[in-house]
Copies of this chain bind each other. A is one copy, B any other.
Amino acid sequence: MSKWNSVAILGVGLIGGSIGLALRRGGLADHVTGIGRSQSRLRNARKQGAVTSTTTAVARGVADAELVIVCTPVDHIVDHVRQVAAACRPGTLITDVGSTKERIVAELAGSLPRGVRFVGSHPMAGSEQVGCEHARPDLFAGRVVAVTPRGADRSGAASRIADFWTSLGAEVIRLAPRVHDRAVASTSHLPHVVASALAATLAEKDQPLAATGWRDTTRIAAGDVEMWKQILLDNRGHVLKSIDKFEKVLDSLRLALEQENERRLTRILQAGKTNRDALGS
């Protein structure tokens, strides 16, 4: 007895594919429909067992779905949720996996047909890899997923979306969209900006001396450029504030080094170590 009779996934890349694999391998859904533009990518998703049927037509793909997960880039999510909502049955739950939430949730608020519910999600999983070929059924195991309802959850939709992620092994945190965007600006978008700037700074002649430290620190700079550009633009205000905070700390470290102020240098290095140690490896 599965939890869901029919689930639809719009966009079967790393995240969408991993959701499909987790649903199917976990026996959580009888039917998983993959929806996308590319026939070959949909075929691959079916071959991998991430979906049980595929279509390029959004309306057909969501017609019977009880749950639809929109896994497309942040600048397309609002349009896609509207398309899904216009075609699905009343009672259908819709969520997304976008890295930003404030604008998406605000634009969709109050604009969906009666009986169709959208609650935003953001799984803190994924990597610098892209594409369904890297999908894994355990991608969400032990990972945090933010669920971002707007205001009180009177319909219970946010609880059902939270249950969905919990069933994939994730740990759910419920946050207001604005609080989410401010927090991920600091924990996810700022690291991307810093890693990209650091990677871009490397001179070719120094490459042979780039060891583990450089590799770890710049790993996420290998992420998809178009996707990250959209995320950063979408969360521009919060990201700019995070960059300013970071630059203040960096300037302070730079000054301590310039002035050979050992106590101040120790204090900043120790603050970083304390925060890092608190998170574990």
- Check A272–B218 contact: CB distance below 8 A: yes
Q: Is there a chain B Cβ closer than 8 Å to A188's Cβ?
A: yes
Interface centre among A127, A202, A212, A213 (most CB of B within 10 A): A213
Residue of B whose beta carbon sits closest to that of A202: B275
Q: Which residues of B contact A257 (CB under 8 A)?
A: 193, 232-233, 236, 239-240, 243
Stretch touching chain B among A40-48, A60-68, A158-166, A220-228:
A220-228
A2 at the interface (CB under 8 A from B): no
Structural contact, B196 and A269, CB atoms closer than 8 A:
yes
- What is the size category of the interface that chain A forms with chain B? 35 or more
Q: Are A233 and B260 in contact (CB under 8 A)?
A: yes
Please tell me if the beta carbons of B240 and A258 are within 8 angstroms of each other in the complex: yes
Q: Which residues of B contact A214 (CB under 8 A)?
A: 187-188, 191, 279
| Bound complex: CA A247 to CA B217 (Å) | 16
What is the distance, in angstroms, from A8's C-beta to the closest C-beta of chain B?
A: 26
**A188 adjacent to B216 (CB under 8 Å):** no
Residue A190 lies at the interface, judged by CB distance under 8 Å to chain B: yes
Chain B, Cβ-Cβ closest to A124: B211
**Of B190, B210, B271, which one neighbours A200 at CB under 8 angstroms?**
B271
The reply to whether A183 and B211 form a contact with Cβ atoms under 8 Å apart is: no
> Which residues of chain A (185-210) have a CB below 8 Å from chain B?
186-188, 190-203, 205-210
List the interface of chain A (C-beta within 8 A of B).
124-127, 143-144, 146, 173, 180, 183-184, 186-188, 190-203, 205-223, 225-226, 228-229, 232-233, 236, 239-240, 242-243, 245-247, 249-250, 253-254, 257-258, 260, 262, 265-266, 268-273, 275-279, 281
Can you name 14 A-B pairs with beta carbons within 8 Å? A187-B213, A188-B209, A194-B194, A195-B272, A197-B250, A218-B272, A222-B273, A223-B273, A225-B273, A226-B266, A228-B269, A239-B257, A243-B257, A247-B254
